[in-house]
Structure 1
Amino acid sequence: MTFLFRNANPSSGLRPFASAAAAAVSNIHDIAPPFPPDSLRSLRQSPPLLATDRAGGTFHLRCSPLSLPRSPVSCPHRRFHRPYYQAPTILPPPYLSSHLPPSLPLLLKPTRVFSSSSESDSESDNSISPPPPPPPPNSNDVDRICKVIDELFSSDRNMEVVLDEIGVQIESSLVVAVLDRFRHAHRPAYRFFRWAAARPGFLHDSTTCNKMLSVLGKTRQFETMVALLEEMGKDAALLSMDAFKISVKAFAAAREMKKCIGIFKLIKKYDFHVGLDTFNCLIDALSKAKLAKEAQQLLDKMKDQYHPDIHTYTALLYGFCKIKDLAEAGRLWNEILDSGFKPDIVSHNTMLEGLIRGHRRSEAIKLLELMKAKGPKPNTRTYTILIQDLCKAGKMEQAVSCFDEMLAACCSPDVATYTCLIVGFGNARQMAKVSSLLAEMSQKGCPPDARTYNALIKLLTNRNMPDDAVRIYKKMIKNGFEPTIHTYNMLMKSYFHGNNYKMGCAVWEEMLGKGICPDVNSFTVFIGGHIRHGRPEEAYKYIEEMINKGMSVPQVDYNKLAADFSRAGRPDVLSELAQKMNFTGKFDASNTLNYWSERMKKRVKRRGPCQSGRGLV
């Protein structure tokens, strides 16, 4: 389905800001714009870097002048393997409860896609070639299956019977494509996964199972995820190290430290080789989940078993920088040097970004000067970090000076660098410079990508100019870049807040037509738009759809929703929905709706009639 935005008036909102951006994007691709184009130095040498601890004192971040040898690390793809034999049960008894779904008849393929890590199996490993990539699925078949799931999942009709009758050939690539469509809705995804497992002639493989694990992990359905992991462990050809990585990252993202380590320990029970690469994956997952302190404790506990290398320390350094604990980051930096390692460019950039996040710009500049003097030499990423910070602060002259210094240092800017400058000048409403940068990007061989287009769309939607943002959106598609779910969320929110209900709904339909699965944010914006424009029945329908799909209840204006229903003669609609959710076992959703129902009862009498909802933020 093609989204034409027929209701957008070509002459509306043609302000210099938007016109210059769209015209510039058109010019660099030699495509005529859809609307008139005329309307749209150096850093000083500083003393050695100092870090400040919580007590207000300072200490030096030392820099080793010589590169010392590091511990050798083998290729992870040669170590994450195991021999053939049946694995023990993965789940401890207390972990499972009686309400878990039954085990899947996975009908797994008897082929292995990984080799053994032992030396005795090296010859057989070399004789096994990796399987060829599967052919892409038929998009029409994917659309047909997804349409059946959308229409029948929440109804009383038998979805599986209808899927049996459509006569689609089930293949691994098709299963992965369908699961990707429902990656934010674990209930229909899991139900389809089980149906596919029962199809005659189809056998789940590691790719489809890992995709299902990823869906369950991202939606935090941990009991079902571990149950599936246990079922995968019954076949030597199915369970791979990637499955454990997905599980570890899912638990870490939910800040489930104990369960994360529990998955790590289970790897040994399946006789996989647990080396430094695997341990680094665990440290990295914990650090990205803002569990740097816990990751440090784990490293101290297991340092004798897994000797850390520069990658271990860099992952931990990123964790401390992410939580803005610069005292610990500085201590760790010195520990890296004391351990005989020399921080590489990734470590330096991580520390530089941490200082910027902690509002230590002067110390970040000192680190930059130290890199120039003693190495490693700053790269494109180094300068982009500084330019992005200066653009956010509105210091565009300094950002341009840093950009010029970057060019003088023979560092070629990339798309991310130009996008930072474009956003900075766009926020400063200097669209002539935005147009110049867009043209320069094309001339220097790095034309705008999806990030650049999304940045331009965000600039326009933040200024309540959705019609002009749509023109950038069309140009984005025409130049071969697929919009992301964030693109549609921005456009949809801008239209709803601009009191254009019909176009907000059109964006939703366009997103579904592109095969993009709405996430919680998408539903929140869409339901909020219905509430804002006085359409409680539509809002209620999509709240039910979210809950039926296993998604969390959206945070919207339930006071206005309940008030609208009260005026329509249905004052207890939220209580009724909460009771329904409680009866079906969705206790979190029930508690949320009960909370808003009680608030509504206390406040609805004090709210005046506000049918349009324009005063809402």
Structure 2
Amino acid sequence: MTLLLRRSRPLLHLHPLPSSASAAAVASPHGPFASFPLDPSLPDPIPRPREAGSGGGGGGGGGERAMRVHGGRPLPLPRPSHHPSYSRLHRPRHQAPPLLPRPLPRLPRSPPLQGQMPLLNPKSLLSTSACPSESDTDSAEEHDESKQPWPPASESHAKEVERVCKVIDELFASDRNMEAVLDECGVDLTHSLVIDVIERFKHAHKPTFRFFRWAGTRPGFSHDASTYNKMLSVLGKTRQFETMVAFLEEMGKEKLLSMEAFRISIKAFAAAREMKKSLGIFQLMKRYNFEAGLDTFNCLIEALAKAKLGKEAQALFEKMKDQYPPDLRTYTVLLLGWCKLKNLVEAGRVWNLMLEDGFKPDVVAHNTMIDGLIGGQRRSEAIKLFELMKAKGPIPNVWTYTILIRDLCKGEKMDLAVKCFEEMLEAGCSPDAATYTCLIVGFGNARQMDKVSGLLREMTEKGCPPDSRTYNALIKLMTNRNMPDDAARIYKKMIKNGFEPTIHTYNMMMKSYFHGKNYEMGCAIWEEMAQKGICPDVNSYTVYIGGHIRHGRPEEAYKYIEEMVTKGMKAPPQIDYNKFAADFSRAGKPDVLYELAQKMNFSGKFQVSNVFHGWAERMKKRVKKRVPNQTGSRLF
């Protein structure tokens, strides 16, 4: 790649596309936060947003305010569509607010914010199919932010963890007295051992919680804040909110509450759109003499923004901004919330408000807006903002370029992606593994495998070797192209180069083998997961159960569906239940289908329950038709 662009010319020439309306997500709480009575001074969880521009989409809502960039004069927001001149020029289209005023004075490189959690990390930023990450795959939320790093485990510690996990795995599913066997094992309990065992079963809250309770009753051992927080994280991710509420109360009585526990709870409740419970955390903090400061408030609205509750985050900000005076991070997370909803009008209002309060948007805020403009189909304005950053600051960083490259790869515009990459090098900005991964996936989807090989060599030569995300992207690419042998070669190279496969890696490998009609190797991957202590998640079970069904083994599929339900996990959402039921029907086992129908009904899978019940009824009728009468002839 030797083609360089002249810095004096715009990077890309893309015509603006009409913005598409996007309805803002509306959430309603699922009931009162019974254990945490809300303070009357707290706002209503879902107050009404401002009238102007409250609708979704890039062009909704007129208003008299203007959109501007720091240092420039404001430009008017788009007029309402009923305005005569607007209708005459644009007719049915709606326009997002223009973002570019007069040039800014050149700014120095923005220093990083001190003492704050990173607002947008690379993994959450690059979450599209063009630049795959763990977050956009079948396995969500594999990066446990609450996990505390422990020193490398000794061999004896690893063996003890393995011994405990084997007891839990074998006895819990069979409904035997797991606790009694653990008592007899003489386990040397430590906090690190408890945390490692919980980590092994982090997707299955029932066995995890039983082990946690058992450990708390053992003589000479008592839980500390780290073990409580680990268990709290599992309850939050598996959405066991009633248990979680009682657990927080218990932590308070044991004087083991911490800011980390509140952060875990806020994120879990907000991700599930449990607004009342999220706000109830503030009341709990007050009750136990914790100060809910701006960092905690920012954590809440950031969690809401990432859950696509930008409207609720904005309304909460409006109600509580006097109590929690905003900082740059506050405005940036609000910007993120509206950009995720593709509501560029409201994003523009937040940008203006940020300027009016005296804050200079840093590179993170600019990246957020550029990403939002691209997501809202306003690519030309994203490019203009990018050009303005190059001219006046803040200087674009590696993520700025990666956002643009990712979008071009997703749109199969590989020539422009290469030009953007070359301009990045010319500007003195070194690409990282995520940038290369976007290009690799782009060329892979374009079936230019020679370019993929060249990029992999270049990564090593430039001192930026492929990371686990690059390998996962390659495995996914081969899986989608039904090339299981190539996926296996990449998997082996990944391990050889010292990268531990993630649960997503295993899920993709299983899927690759099952779809490639290699049932034995698909099962071998499942066994390898068990040997390495990888806790299967819902997606792992879905792939594995689907593989059994695909290869005509309904009994094995039934066994693992039962195992999921026993562990407190939801029944697999995406398997061929019709084929599964039909296989059992042909085997003449109506009782199994009735039993499954009942279990699915209890799990909330009503449609699946109806499928099983319907097949059981049809099979029952077929059996009845074949019953002979007293004369020995068939009834029909």
Task: Tell me the TM-score normalized by structure 2.
Answer: 0.75
1:334 to 344, 352, 372: 352
Q: Does 1:385 pair with 2:403?
A: yes
Instruction: After TM superposition, give the deviation of residue 571 of structure 1 in Å.
Output: 2.4
Instruction: After TM superposition, give the deviation of residue 46 of structure 1 in Å.
Output: 9.2
Output the CA distance in 2 between the equivalents of 1:420 and 1:385: 9
Matches within 5 A, 1:46-85: 53-54=59-60, 55=81, 56-61=94-99, 65=105, 75=115
1:44 to 10, 15, 39: 10
Question: Which digits, 9 at most, give the CA deviation of each residue in 1:351-377, with x for residues without a partner?
Answer: 111111122211111110111122101
Q: Given residue 60 of structure 1, which amino acid in structure 2 is its aligned partner?
A: P
Output the CA distance in 2 between the equivalents of 1:484 and 1:135: 18
Q: Does 1:566 pair with 2:585?
A: yes
Q: Contact between 1:218 and 1:250, CA under 8 Å: does it hold in 2?
A: yes
Output the CA distance in 2 between the equivalents of 1:76 and 1:452: 28
Q: Does 1:315 pair with 2:325?
A: no
Which shifted more, 304-313 or 54-63?
Answer: 54-63
1:444 to 449, 453, 462: 462
1:343 aligned partner: 361
1:136 to 153, 159, 170: 153
Q: Contact between 1:578 and 1:589, CA under 8 Å: does it hold in 2?
A: no
3-state SS of paired residue (2:588): coil
Q: Contact between 2:150 and 2:192, CA under 8 Å: does it hold in 1?
A: no
Instruction: After TM superposition, give the deviation of residue 271 of structure 1 in Å.
Output: 0.9
Matches within 5 A, 1:512-531: 512-531=530-549
3-state SS of paired residue (2:514): helix
Q: Given residue 246 of structure 2, which amino acid in structure 1 is its aligned partner?
A: A
Q: Contact between 2:511 and 2:522, CA under 8 Å: does it hold in 1?
A: yes
Output the CA distance in 2 between the equivalents of 1:153 and 1:307: 50
Question: Which digits, 9 at most, give the CA deviation of each residue in 1:294-338, with x for residues without a partner?
Answer: 000000000111111110010111111112111211121111111
Instruction: After TM superposition, give the deviation of residue 596 of structure 1 in Å.
Output: 2.3
Question: Which digits, 9 at most, give the CA deviation of each residue in 1:398-444, with x for residues without a partner?
Answer: 00000010011110111111111111111112222212211111111
Q: Does 1:475 pair with 2:493?
A: yes
Output the CA distance in 2 between the equivalents of 1:606 and 1:58: 61
Question: Which digits, 9 at most, give the CA deviation of each residue in 1:24-49, with x for residues without a partner?
Answer: xxxxxxxxxxxxxxxxx3551799x9
Which shifted more, 342-351 or 490-499?
Answer: 490-499
2:254 aligned partner: 235
Q: Contact between 1:574 and 1:593, CA under 8 Å: does it hold in 2?
A: no
Output the CA distance in 2 between the equivalents of 1:66 and 1:309: 23
Output the CA distance in 2 between the equivalents of 1:500 and 1:201: 50
1:266 aligned partner: 284
Which shifted more, 279-288 or 569-578?
Answer: 569-578
Contiguous gaps of at least 5 residues in structure 1: 1-40, 78-130, 608-617
Q: Contact between 1:134 and 1:173, CA under 8 Å: does it hold in 2?
A: no
Q: Given residue 230 of structure 2, which amino acid in structure 1 is its aligned partner?
A: K
Matches within 5 A, 1:54-133: 54=60, 55=81, 56-61=94-99, 65=105, 75=115
Change beyond 3 A, Cα 1:501–1:235: same
Q: Given residue 260 of structure 1, which amino acid in structure 2 is its aligned partner?
A: S
Instruction: After TM superposition, give the deviation of residue 598 of structure 1 in Å.
Output: 3.9
Change beyond 3 A, Cα 1:163–1:356: same
2:223 to 193, 200, 204: 204
Output the CA distance in 2 between the equivalents of 1:553 and 1:143: 27
Q: Does 1:167 pair with 2:186?
A: yes
Output the CA distance in 1 between the equivalents of 2:605 and 2:12: 59
Q: Given residue 161 of structure 2, which amino acid in structure 1 is its aligned partner?
A: V
1:597 aligned partner: 612
Change beyond 3 A, Cα 1:526–1:342: same
2:274 aligned partner: 256
Matches within 5 A, 1:138-157: 138-157=157-176
Output the CA distance in 2 between the equivalents of 1:394 and 1:139: 47
Output the CA distance in 2 between the equivalents of 1:606 and 1:440: 66
Output the CA distance in 2 between the equivalents of 1:509 and 1:441: 33
Q: Contact between 1:276 and 1:306, CA under 8 Å: does it hold in 2?
A: yes
Instruction: After TM superposition, give the deviation of residue 589 of structure 1 in Å.
Output: 4.3
Output the CA distance in 2 between the equivalents of 1:560 and 1:470: 29
Q: Contact between 1:67 and 1:341, CA under 8 Å: does it hold in 2?
A: no
Which shifted more, 268-277 or 257-266?
Answer: 257-266
1:506 aligned partner: 524
Output the CA distance in 1 between the equivalents of 2:494 and 2:149: 32
Q: Does 1:222 pair with 2:241?
A: yes
Instruction: After TM superposition, give the deviation of residue 53 of structure 1 in Å.
Output: 2.1
Output the CA distance in 1 between the equivalents of 2:349 and 2:598: 53
Q: Contact between 1:62 and 1:337, CA under 8 Å: does it hold in 2?
A: no
1:190 to 181, 205, 209: 209
Instruction: After TM superposition, give the deviation of residue 73 of structure 1 in Å.
Output: 9.4
Q: Contact between 1:547 and 1:589, CA under 8 Å: does it hold in 2?
A: no
Change beyond 3 A, Cα 1:76–1:198: farther
Q: Does 1:486 pair with 2:452?
A: no
Change beyond 3 A, Cα 1:45–1:591: closer
Q: Given residue 457 of structure 2, which amino acid in structure 1 is its aligned partner?
A: A
Change beyond 3 A, Cα 1:363–1:602: farther
Q: Given residue 44 of structure 1, which amino acid in structure 2 is its aligned partner?
A: P
Change beyond 3 A, Cα 1:294–1:599: farther
Output the CA distance in 1 between the equivalents of 2:607 and 2:185: 39
Output the CA distance in 2 between the equivalents of 1:382 and 1:603: 59
Change beyond 3 A, Cα 1:545–1:343: same
Q: Contact between 2:107 and 2:394, CA under 8 Å: does it hold in 1?
A: no
Change beyond 3 A, Cα 1:156–1:456: closer
Q: Given residue 176 of structure 1, which amino acid in structure 2 is its aligned partner?
A: I
Q: Given residue 600 of structure 1, which amino acid in structure 2 is its aligned partner?
A: W
Instruction: After TM superposition, give the deviation of residue 165 of structure 1 in Å.
Output: 1.7
Output the CA distance in 2 between the equivalents of 1:132 and 1:563: 48
Q: Contact between 1:324 and 1:357, CA under 8 Å: does it hold in 2?
A: yes
Q: Given residue 227 of structure 2, which amino acid in structure 1 is its aligned partner?
A: T
Q: Contact between 1:558 and 1:600, CA under 8 Å: does it hold in 2?
A: no
Between the aligned residues of both structures, percent identity stands at 69
Output the CA distance in 1 between the equivalents of 2:187 and 2:96: 67
Q: Given residue 237 of structure 2, which amino acid in structure 1 is its aligned partner?
A: K
Output the CA distance in 2 between the equivalents of 1:74 and 1:489: 38
Change beyond 3 A, Cα 1:299–1:172: same
1:5 aligned partner: none
3-state SS of paired residue (2:97): strand
Contiguous gaps of at least 5 residues in structure 2: 20-57, 61-80, 82-93, 118-147, 623-636
3-state SS of paired residue (2:325): coil
Q: Contact between 2:198 and 2:230, CA under 8 Å: does it hold in 1?
A: yes
Output the CA distance in 1 between the equivalents of 2:258 and 2:363: 32
1:394 aligned partner: 412
Output the CA distance in 1 between the equivalents of 2:170 and 2:153: 25
